[in-house]
Amino acid sequence: MGKLIITIHLKGMVTISFQEIKVTENMEHAFRDAHGFGIHECENNPELLVKVEQKREQEYQKSQQMVARLDNQVHRSL
């Protein structure tokens, strides 16, 4: 099993690389719970890979916004 890494750069350029990893049963289960399909289904389907990466990016941006709000609240109460 390998890991396909898709990086979307700020100017719209996309880099795709492949990295070998061993997928455990727990990893497969967690991935399926999070995305609705398994890692092995994702391997040869670029559309699913992009969907996963877009979801990851959205969750990251959401977490960054949450951290900024909390940081702002902490500084106000000091």
Question: Helices then strands (H, E): number in the chain?
Answer: 3, 2
pLDDT tens digits in sequence order for the chain, 78 residues long:
566 677 777 776 777 666 667 888 998 999 999 999 988 888 778 888 888 889 989 999 999 999 999 999 888 877
Please report the pLDDT score of residue 29 as a whole number.
94
Q: Residues 27-40, buried b or exposed e (16+ Cβ, 10 A)?
A: eeeebeeebeeebe
End-to-end Cα spacing for the chain: 50
Q: How far apart are CA 63 and CA 78, in angstroms?
A: 23
In the chain, the number of structural domains is: 1
Domain that holds residue 38: 2-76
Q: How far apart are CA 48 and CA 42, in angstroms?
A: 6
